[in-house]
Amino acid sequence: GTLTVFCASMSSAWYYRPVADDSPGYTSYDDDDCNEHHLHQRQRRRRTTPQPDHLEKQMSTSLGPDRTTQTFCSPHTSPPWSRPHAPLLLSWARGISIGATTLAIRLFMNTYGTYDIVDDEHYRFFLETVISGVGNNNSSSTHNNNGSQHHQGLITVSNHRSLFDDPGVLSCLLPLPLAIQPKFNRWGICSQEYCFNDALPGLVKGYIGAGQVLPICRGGGINQKLLLDF
């Protein structure tokens, strides 16, 4: 029974996995282009080099990832993560992915690393904001008695030595009973050439997607179809 539920849940994660956006006009930066010099050069070229009308239209109104060309992939134009309620099996897959990843990171950090959390008024306010914001799906933010917004962004700052900095910080930031629950975890983004490239098996991309991670095309700007849907 347990094995069946696990297999069905991960199959659902594979089926509903996020897909990288390879639409015309979205070009990812290569690793060698990620330094500041190349970024400024690309920005200057984009400002000074006129683009054909059809290319500018594609860049601003891309239809997003083409899910119909993928093997064992949901054809929905409105992906499940943009809906109020995800399919049941996908919800279970999110619990498996986030729970397993959180426990693995906690085990690693408590065994081979160290981290300190300052339990002060700011941290307690952060926990209050996380807990009070769960279940509030209104498009407009609500306020508590102190006038603070329930829906607030969370910015993490790190030296970014690896792709695991952000999930590592978040997995250790919340108390464990909260950290293993998807509803208390924020959504993240990852460069699609790393987390959702074609070399990775669909099941791996499904596991990453079930961990509430979406692919982003570096250099594609903020108006990317996948993010706008979300």
Give the pLDDT confidence of 88-142 residue by residue, as tens digits: 999 999 999 999 999 999 999 999 888 899 999 999 998 988 888 765 544 334 4
Rg from Cα positions in the chain: 19
Any idea which residue has 């509030």 for tokens? 136
* Lowest mean per-residue pLDDT among 5-9, 161-165, 176-180: 161-165
**Beta strand spans in 17-164 (E):** none
The highest-confidence range among 41-45, 169-173, 202-206, by mean pLDDT, is 202-206
Q: How far apart are the first and last CA of the chain?
A: 33
Q: What is the pLDDT of residue 175?
A: 94
DSSP structure string for 91-123 = HHHHHHHHHHHHHHHHHHHHHH-------SHHH
Which three-class secondary structure state does DSSP give residue 188?
Answer: strand
**Burial readout 135-146 (b: 16 or more C-beta within 10 A, e: otherwise):** eeeeeeeeeeee
For residue 213, CA distances in Å to 124, 165, 190, 216 come to 26, 14, 7, 10
Q: What percentage of residues in the chain have a pLDDT greater than 90?
A: 33
- Of 34 and 5, the structure prediction assigns the larger pLDDT to 5
Amino acid letter, 183: K
User: Which of the pair, 52 or 196, is modelled with greater confidence?
Assistant: 196
pLDDT at 151: 58
Q: What is the DSSP letter of 133?
A: H
CA distance 178 to 130: 9
- Average pLDDT of the chain is 76
Of 18-27, 69-78, 111-120, 173-182, the least confident:
18-27
CA 50 from chain centre, in angstroms, equals 33
Beta strands, E only, 52-100 = none
Query: Does the pLDDT at position 23 exceed 80?
Result: no
- Please tell me the least confidently modeled range out of 29-33, 108-112, 174-178: 29-33
- For residue 98, the number of C-alpha atoms closer than 13 Å in the C-beta half-sphere is 28
Q: What is the pLDDT confidence band of residue 46, given thresholds at 50, 70 and 90?
A: very low
Give the per-residue pLDDT at 29. 45
How sure is the predictor about 49, in pLDDT bands with cuts at 50, 70 and 90?
A: very low
Q: What's the pLDDT score for residue 82? A: 67
pLDDT at 81 over 80: no
C-alpha–C-alpha distance, residues 126 and 173, integer Å: 10
Is pLDDT at 83 greater than 90 in this prediction? no
Lowest mean pLDDT among 17-26, 107-116, 165-174: 17-26
